[in-house]
Structure formats: structure tokens, C-alpha cells
């Protein structure tokens, strides 16, 4: 295969953040990457990996305790580094 053909088929391997998605279904498949210095959970959407921070799971659990039938959420990220906060908002 030629370089040009490979380049046209290439996809980014950069890891995105789950907050970059507009809406997330609560039944998405989640995988775990352990072959790295800092293991993480992620989901794949359109061949792109989106990292899911642990605090998202904790916040989502609280919402599901109140509404087990919750189907979709929006994740809002504020701050940076150690001051990052993830808010999980139910979506109708």
C-alpha cells in the first residue's frame, strides 16, 4: 500500500475525554486499558477512545440509585489537572 493510501485511512489514536461527547448512553460498552503506566477505563465511539475518569462512575452511581431507568447523561468537565471536576447530568 502506498503512503498516501495509508494516510487517507489513518485515524487518530489520541485519547479523548468522555466529557467531549454531547450525550452518553448509560448502557455503553466500557473497556479497561491496563497495559499502560496509568491504567484507565474507556469507551470507543467512531473508532475513537474516550477515557472515563473514576469520578464519573461514582457520580453516575448516585444518579442510578435515584433513577435506575436513566438512559442518557451529559458529562460536564470543569477545571484542570488535580482540580478537574466531572458533573454527570441526566438527559431526558
**58 phi/psi in degrees, rounded to 5:** -65, -45
pTM of the complete model:
0.81
Q: How far is 51 from 49, CA to CA, in rounded Å?
A: 6
Enumerate the β-bridge partners of residue 91. Answer: 72
pLDDT at 13 over 70: no
Enumerate the β-bridge partners of residue 74. Answer: 89
Taking the alpha carbons at both ends of the chain, their separation in whole angstroms is 47
Give the β-pairing of 48-52 and 16-17.
parallel
Which tens digits make up the pLDDT trace of 25-38? 999 999 999 999 99
**Given this model, what pLDDT does residue 65 score?**
96
The mean pLDDT of 46-52, rounded to a whole number, is 92
Amino acid at each position: 500500500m502506498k503512503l498516501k493510501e495509508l494516510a487517507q485511512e489513518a485515524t487518530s489514536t489520541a485519547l479523548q475525554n468522555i466529557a467531549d461527547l454531547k450525550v452518553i448512553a448509560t448502557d455503553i460498552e466500557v473497556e479497561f486499558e491496563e497495559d499502560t503506566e496509568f491504567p484507565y477505563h474507556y469507551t470507543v465511539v467512531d473508532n475513537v477512545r474516550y477515557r472515563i475518569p473514576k469520578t464519573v462512575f461514582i457520580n453516575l452511581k448516585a444518579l442510578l440509585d435515584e433513577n435506575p431507568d436513566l438512559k442518557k447523561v451529559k458529562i460536564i468537565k470543569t477545571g484542570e489537572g488535580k482540580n478537574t471536576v466531572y458533573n454527570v447530568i441526566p438527559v431526558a
